[in-house]
């Protein structure tokens, strides 16, 4: 997504912030205070603080934000500041779930009918691009920095080790998951243990946001699984 953001900036000759505002946030009625690369100082008190979990005691302690430079970037230098398409956006959960709802609705906002993606583009996001690599997220090497990412042999363990996939939008669980998610569900996570998923077959999407390092925190991962089970368990029909 970082490279896609760079390509988009070069093709459109706009910053990601400018492009996102014009083509995503404004059409979806997402206010600038709900999704931005540069939260103004007035919003800083409302930001969730970033924490690190001690690997021995498991105690959480506050630490500086990974994007501290963006938080202190003055307006005059923001156009030249690197805007990460993969991880640079500060976003309220309500705004983020609006974006997930658009994917569920084949590219159109379900509340306003405003379309920001063609249905064929959404289909591409959910199409497996690596069918020859069914175990791409298994047997992972140790992390380069254990303070940022926990070691994990499998990013999304499933009984029987079914084939895994990757679409242009994220990780694809090609077979039904134990939480109730359907085969073909797309999901991904942020480094600070922010998880989301989109299940088009069952018309369900959701996110769970933490601000905890290292990535793959067992407590947050467990909570994510319980949230999914609760959502699917509450569906009617």
Residue 103 lies in a domain: yes
Task: Encode 138-167: b = buried (16+ Cβ within 10 Å), e = exposed.
Answer: eeeeeeeeeeebbebeeeeeeeeeebbbbb
Is 42 within the bounds of a domain?
Answer: no
- How far apart (Å, rounded) are the C-alpha atoms in residues 229 and 226? 5
For the segment 23-31, the average pLDDT, to the nearest whole number, is: 96
Which parts of the chain fold into alpha helices (H)?
2-12, 16-20, 68-71, 93-104, 119-125, 218-233
Q: How many helices (H) and strands (E) does the chain have?
A: 6, 10
- Confidence grade of residue 118 (pLDDT, cut at 50, 70, 90): very high
In a domain, 178, yes or no: yes
Judge whether 76 lies within some domain: yes
In a domain, 213, yes or no: yes
Whichever domain contains 148, its CATH number is: 3.40.710.10
What is the rounded CA–CA span in Å between residue 4 and residue 176?
A: 29
Res 124 pLDDT > 90: yes
- 156 close to 137: Cβ distance less than 8 angstroms: yes
Does a structural domain hold residue 88?
Answer: yes
What digits encode the pLDDT tens for the residues 160-177? Answer: 999 999 999 999 999 999
Helix (H, G, I), strand (E, B) or coil at 212: strand
Share of the chain above pLDDT 70, in %: 100
| Per-chain mean pLDDT for the chain | 96
Sign of CA dihedral 134, 197, 192, 43: positive
**Which tens digit of pLDDT belongs to each residue from 32-43?**
999 999 999 999
Whole-structure pTM over 0.85, yes or no? yes
Q: Summarize the confidence of residues 105-131 as an average pLDDT.
A: 97
Mean pLDDT over residues 92-118, rounded?
96
In a domain, 180, yes or no: yes
Q: Is 183 helix (H, G, I), strand (E, B) or coil?
A: coil
The first and second tokens of residue 192, run together, are: 């600070």
pLDDT one-digit tens code per residue, 191-218: 999 999 999 999 999 999 999 999 999 9
Q: Is residue 204 part of a domain?
A: yes
How many domains, in total, are found in the chain? Answer: 1
Contact at 8 Å (CB) between 185 and 172? yes
CA pair distance 179, 174, nearest whole angstrom: 14
Question: Residues 216-226: pLDDT tens digits?
Answer: 999 999 999 99
Of the chain, the percentage scoring pLDDT greater than 90 comes to 97
Reply yes or no on whether the pLDDT at 1 is more than 90. no
Sheet of strand 185-190: strand arrangement: 164-167, 170-173, 185-190, 194-199, 204-209
Residue 152 — very low, low, confident or very high, per pLDDT cuts 50/70/90? very high
The pLDDT value recorded for residue 237 is 62
Domain that holds residue 127: 2-37+47-233
Rounded CA separation 17/14 (Å): 8
Q: Quick: pLDDT tens for 58-80.
A: 999 999 999 999 999 999 999 99
């Amino acid at each position: 997504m970082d490279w896609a953001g760079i390509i988009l900036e070069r093709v459109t000759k706009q910053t990601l912030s400018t492009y996102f505002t014009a083509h995503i946030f404004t059409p979806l009625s997402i206010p600038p205070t709900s999704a931005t690369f540069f939260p103004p100082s007035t919003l800083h008190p409302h930001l969730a603080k970033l924490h690190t979990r001690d690997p021995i005691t498991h105690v959480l302690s506050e630490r500086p934000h990974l994007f501290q430079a963006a938080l202190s970037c003055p307006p005059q230098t923001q156009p030249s500041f690197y805007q990460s398409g993969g991880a640079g956006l500060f976003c309220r959960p309500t705004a983020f779930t609006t974006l997930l709802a658009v994917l569920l609705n084949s590219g159109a906002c379900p509340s306003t009918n405003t379309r920001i993606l063609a249905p064929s583009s959404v289909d591409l996001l959910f199409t497996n691009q690596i069918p020859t690599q069914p175990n791409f997220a298994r047997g992972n090497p140790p992390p380069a920095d254990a303070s940022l990412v926990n070691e994990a042999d499998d990013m999304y363990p499933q009984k029987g080790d079914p084939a895994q996939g990757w679409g242009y939008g994220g990780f694809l669980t090609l077979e039904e998951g134990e939480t109730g998610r359907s085969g073909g569900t797309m999901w991904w996570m942020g480094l600070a243990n922010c998880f989301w998923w989109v299940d088009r077959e069952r018309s369900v999407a959701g996110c769970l946001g933490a601000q905890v390092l290292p990535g793959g925190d067992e407590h947050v991962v467990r909570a994510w699984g319980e949230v999914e089970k609760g959502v699917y368990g509450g569906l009617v029909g």
